[in-house]
Chain A
Amino acid sequence: MTSSPMPAPTAKQPAVDSDHAPKDAGLQAGGLISGAPKAVAGETMIAIDAISKWYGDFQVLTNCTTRVAKGEVVVVCGPSGSGKSTLIKCVNALEPFQKGQITVAGTKVLDKSTNLPKLRSRVGMVFQHFELFPHLTITDNLTIAQRKVLGRGAEDAKKRGLDLLARVGLGAHAHKFPGQLSGGQQQRVAIARALAMNPVVMLFDEPTSALDPEMVGEVLDVMVELAKEGMTMMVVTHEMGFARKVADRVIFMDRGEIVEDATKDEFFGSPRSERAQTFLSKILQH
C-alpha cells in the first residue's frame, strides 16, 4: 500500500484495509463488487476542476473543485437548491457545464473526443426516484444495459444480474415488474442494476429521500456494505448517520459553491464555516 500523495482524502485508507481484511475474503464469495480489483489508495478516480454552470443567467455552480480517490467514500450535503445534485450529475455529464473540467478514471468529461456512452457505462448512478424501467421485469432491468451497451451475452448478463439481485436480498423477485416492489426494494434493484455494469465508481443522488422512513435502512445497509468492500462512491444525501459510519470525507455545498471539504471527523467535530454549522445544527437537532 503506497502512501497517498494527496493530503486529506485518504486518512482512513489503511484502517479500512486492516479492518475489513476478513470481509475481503468474503468479497470473492459474496461481495457486491466481485472481480473488482481492491482499491489502491491515492489514485484519483474523479477530479473535479473549477467547474461552473449556468442556467441562462442564473449560476448554479461556481468554481467547484474536489478530488475523489479510488476506494474513497465522499458524502455531499447541503441545503436544497445548493447545487449538490447538479454537481453529481456533472460527473457523468448528465448535466452539461460551461467552465472547468471533470476527469473520471483518466477520461475527460468535457471533451469532444470522449465517448460519453462508454464513459457513462463505467459510472454507476442511483437516482432519487429509482428510475427502474417500468415496462421491463426486474431481470430485464438488470440485463438490458449489459446486453445492449456492453454487448454481453444474454446468459452472462442474466447470471451476473441475478447474482447481484440475490446479494441485495431480492433473489425471489426476479420475475416481477418494478411496480410490484416497494420503494426500498426498487432502490436496491437500482443499485444492483448499476453494479451489474461493473462500474469503477458509483454516484448516488439522494438515494433515500424519496423513500418511506421504514425503508431507508435497507437501502443504507446495501450502501454501507458496498462502501466497506472498497467501492469508490460519491453520495448526495442528508443521512448523516450514513456519513458518520462510512464516509471518508464530507463536502458541504451552499448556493452553488463548495463551502467545506473536510474529513469526516473534522466536519462533524468542528466545521469551520458558519453555514455548515447552521446546516448541521438544523439537521442533527431531530
Chain B
Amino acid sequence: MLSNFDFSVILTALPYLFGTGMVFTLSLTAMAAVGGVILGTLLAMARLSGIPGVWHLAKGYVELCRSLPLVLVIFWFYFLVPYIGAYVTGAATPIQVGAFPSALITFMAFEAAYFAEIMRAGIQSVPKGQTAAASALGMNYWQTMGHVVLPQAFRNMLPLLLTQTIVLFQDTSLVYVLSLTDFMGAASKVAQRDGRLVEMYIFAAVVYFAICFSASLLVRRLQRRVAIIR
C-alpha cells in the first residue's frame, strides 16, 4: 500500500534525476527535434519534387520508418551506426560511437519521417498561386521554397510540429532499452538500486505528465493565436 511511500528517496535522488537524467532527455529532445525537422523538410521536398528516383526514395524511407516500432529502430541504429562510421571514415573495424550521438542520430532519422509527413501537408497547404506568383517574379525553386512556401508552411504547421515534439520528448524514454541515463533511465537506476520502484516510477510519471501537459496547453494557446492571424 501507499502508506510506506517514502518521499525522502525522491528528494535525495533529485540532483541525479534532473542534473543527469533530465538534462540528457531535454538535450536529446531539442537536438533531435531541430535535426528531425530539417531532415523531415528535405524529405518532404524530395517527396513532392516529382523527380523519379528521388521521390520514390523519400517515400520509401518515410513509409519504412513509419511502419517500424521505435524500439526496433533504436536497436537497428545502435548496431548500424558503428558500421556506418567505419564506412564513412574508412576504418577497418566498426568505430565506437558514444551513447548520446548514437541516440541522437536514431531519433533524428526516425522522427524525420514523422516531421516529413507534417511538412508535406504544410507545403501542400500553401496555395498554388503563391508558387506561381513567386515564379512570375523570377524566383528559382530554392528561392521560392525558402522565401515563400516554407515560411508559410512552417507557420501553418507550427502547432503540429510542436505536438510531435512533445511525442518525441516522451519517446526519448525508450533509450531505456540501451540502458542510457535519460530521465527515465535515471529514475529506473535509482529504483533498482534502492529497491524503491513505487516512489521512483510514480514520481517519473508525475514529472512527465506535468511537462507534457503544460507544453500541450501552450501549444493549444499558440494554435488559437495562429488561427486568429489566419
Direct A–B contact present (CB less than 8 angstroms): no
Binding site for A on B (CB under 8 A): none
Binding site for B on A (CB under 8 A): none
